[in-house]
Structure 1
Amino acid sequence: MNLTFKKIAGLLMGAMAAFTISTNVSASKTKIADVSQYQGNINWSKASKDLKFAIIRVQHGDTGDADFRIDTKKDINANGAYKYKVPFGQYGYAEFSSVADAKKEAKDFYKRSSSKTRFYVLDNEHRKGKGSEQSYVNAWLSTMRKLTNKPIVYYSYQSYVHTYKINYSKFDGSWIANYSQKPDVSTDLWQYTSKGRLSGITGNVDLSKIVDSKTVNSWLKQSSADQAKPTYFTSVPSSKQVTTTRNIYQYNDVNFKSRVSKLAAGKKLTVKAVSKSDHGAYRFELSNGNYITANKAYVSN
């Protein structure tokens, strides 16, 4: 074998090896896991080698529920997934007991979620109210539609859907759990086990399989526009009070050129007038003379 041939053969073998490694790495990213604080400290560097995408818990119930808790790993997991380029959605375990409670829970869930999430999930498996469960689901969804343009997915168990006759057709897709066999209700993503294994996690983890790839892939598309088209308060509420629903800033000018300070979500404020910026955005003028947004996605009356 002459030297030139040896060099060519070596280059070809190297290229083939690199292609094989690349293909195997790509092929290994097939698992879909939902995770929470119960998975402990996830090694996202290792998990990223297995994951096509992840679904991360944000909260369990909401303020007022006896077992309410914000997932202690929600930010760590979101940041870890993002750092290692794992696309992710986020879910909130619902315990709403009325239409008003469902609306509040949606707003709080949105506020607590990461801006980097690709989609949002309603985890609806806990019946608590005495009214129509469907009306609670509808109220949650309609509230989220006002807050985001990202996909919104319905999750539950097959048995729960049957028992309460939930219609989730207005969601952007469904994720249904049934561990014995493929769900007999409409589903795009099937949670098939709670005893899966994943690199980077010690112990069991829920795993899911794609049923409708076109729909599920649409959840993962990156969007530069999370916010829906803004809707504004155009007049001062009769109470002259508004409450921030997300962290915002107050400014000393209507065009928001000079920032004064940060206002935490849940802050009650007294307003005295509504003004418009040079670009046509409505602002509330506060009793202290500063300005905040009048965007309904950030403040409520």
Structure 2
Amino acid sequence: MTLNFKKIAGLFMGALAAFTICTSVSASKTKIADVSQYQGNINWSKASKDLKYAIIRVQHGDTGDADFRIDSKRNINASGAKKYGVPFGQYGYAEFSSVADAKKEAKDFYNRSNTSARFYVLDNEHRKGKGSEQSYVNAWLSQMRKLTNKPLIYYSYDNYVAVHKINYSKFDGSWIANYSKKPTASADLWQYTSKGRVSGISGNVDLSKAINSSVVDSWFKATSADTAKPTYYTSVPANQTITTTRHIYEYKDANFKSRITKLASGKSLPVKAITRSNSGAYRFQLTNGNFVTANKAFVSD
């Protein structure tokens, strides 16, 4: 058999080049970046070549805060990351000043988040209230546990944790910032720079690296389905009033067969009784005789 050396060599070199390109692209998808409206219009097609994971901001503070704003790029960034296969979580910069405020901020953050987010982050670095900062953190966590079964992550910077003695052990993971050296506080994910670079993003971007890779990977591999088991009020509140925490509907019947109207979040409703549907779900009967859900993810007392 006569061998065509040039042909074989050409095939070998072609295969080697293809392998090199493939492994190079794979190796480049190592960065973990958190992004917000401050990164402007991200080219997610290009960014996806660099990014292994992304963490996307949803809001800064909440209604009532002087500097409150919903991140203008939150939905665009979530859609871009999803389209180009970059798993992502979402975070909210907290400015709560009381336990009640922390609960409200958690509810609003959850409602504004994208359903494809793999996990949710409490960005706790702004001390505002006069009470215990730990009690606010605990209230936020407790409220979010009622709303979702996705991982809940605590974020802050090294010094803030130390000064305020924050215990975040009940969260599903921790993400700590310290740009000079590895954090002294317990951290699964380390935000190590605010001057990183990512293809498709103009200017600087925060970058992080995993300290505990198995834990961090578990956040991003969490299912995108949100199947938290509903918890219900089983009795009428003492003040006989509930408040909607999300958009809900009012019905003529406890089985929710005949819808009347859509109720906005934050609406106060007088109630007179608690009842159950044929399937066993609890409902509040309003003083006007109609019915709404008693699910704690949608109403509060």
Is the 1:173–1:188 Cα contact (8 Å) retained in structure 2?
A: yes
Secondary structure at the aligned position of 1:198 is classed as: coil
Of the structure 1 ranges 128-137 and 168-177, higher mean CA displacement relative to structure 2 is found in 128-137
Give the equivalent residue in structure 2 for 1:171. 171
Give the equivalent residue in structure 1 for 2:126. 126
The CA distance in 1 between the partners of 2:248 and 2:297, in whole Å, is 11
Alignment map for 1:1-301 (pairs within 5 Å): 16-223=16-223, 225-287=225-287, 290-301=290-301
Q: Closer, same or farther in 2 for the Cα pair 1:164/1:238, shift >3 Å?
A: closer
Of the structure 1 ranges 34-43 and 241-250, higher mean CA displacement relative to structure 2 is found in 241-250
Secondary structure at the aligned position of 1:215 is classed as: helix
The CA distance in 2 between the partners of 1:80 and 1:40, in whole Å, is 13
Q: Closer, same or farther in 2 for the Cα pair 1:80/1:248, shift >3 Å?
A: farther
Secondary structure at the aligned position of 1:49 is classed as: helix
Q: Which amino acid aligns with 1:108?
A: D
The CA distance in 2 between the partners of 1:262 and 1:53, in whole Å, is 37
Q: Closer, same or farther in 2 for the Cα pair 1:224/1:44, shift >3 Å?
A: closer
Which 5+ residue runs of structure 1 have no aligned equivalent?
none
Is the 2:118–2:224 Cα contact (8 Å) retained in structure 1?
A: no
Is the 1:149–1:225 Cα contact (8 Å) retained in structure 2?
A: no
The CA distance in 2 between the partners of 1:87 and 1:54, in whole Å, is 6
Is the 1:147–1:227 Cα contact (8 Å) retained in structure 2?
A: no
Secondary structure at the aligned position of 2:134 is classed as: helix
Of the structure 1 ranges 240-249 and 38-47, higher mean CA displacement relative to structure 2 is found in 240-249
The CA distance in 2 between the partners of 1:148 and 1:19, in whole Å, is 42
The CA distance in 2 between the partners of 1:288 and 1:26, in whole Å, is 61
Cα deviation digits, residues 2-55 of structure 1 (max 9, x gap):
699988877666555444333222221111111111111111111111111111
Cα deviation digits, residues 225-284 of structure 1 (max 9, x gap):
524221112233344432221223344443334544433322333444433222211123
Secondary structure at the aligned position of 1:179 is classed as: coil
Q: Closer, same or farther in 2 for the Cα pair 1:237/1:4, shift >3 Å?
A: farther
Q: Closer, same or farther in 2 for the Cα pair 1:8/1:30, shift >3 Å?
A: same
Cα deviation digits, residues 92-126 of structure 1 (max 9, x gap):
11111222222221122112111111111111111
Q: Which amino acid aligns with 2:277?
A: S
TM-score of the pair, normalised by structure 2: 0.90
Q: Closer, same or farther in 2 for the Cα pair 1:136/1:11, shift >3 Å?
A: same
Cα deviation, residue 157, structure 1: 0.9
Please give the root-mean-square deviation of Cα atoms over the aligned residues, in Å.
2.5
Secondary structure at the aligned position of 1:90 is classed as: strand
Q: Closer, same or farther in 2 for the Cα pair 1:248/1:6, shift >3 Å?
A: farther
Number of aligned residue pairs: give it. Answer: 301
The CA distance in 1 between the partners of 2:246 and 2:7, in whole Å, is 62
Q: Which amino acid aligns with 1:232?
A: Y
Cα deviation, residue 202, structure 1: 0.7
Of the structure 1 ranges 289-298 and 170-179, higher mean CA displacement relative to structure 2 is found in 289-298
Q: Which amino acid aligns with 1:233?
A: Y
Secondary structure at the aligned position of 1:91 is classed as: strand
Which 5+ residue runs of structure 2 have no aligned equivalent?
none
Is the 2:250–2:291 Cα contact (8 Å) retained in structure 1?
A: yes
Identity of aligned residues (%): 77
The CA distance in 1 between the partners of 2:7 and 2:243, in whole Å, is 71
TM-score of the pair, normalised by structure 1: 0.90
The CA distance in 1 between the partners of 2:17 and 2:247, in whole Å, is 51
The CA distance in 1 between the partners of 2:173 and 2:150, in whole Å, is 12
The CA distance in 2 between the partners of 1:266 and 1:14, in whole Å, is 63
The CA distance in 1 between the partners of 2:140 and 2:279, in whole Å, is 32
The CA distance in 1 between the partners of 2:4 and 2:257, in whole Å, is 67
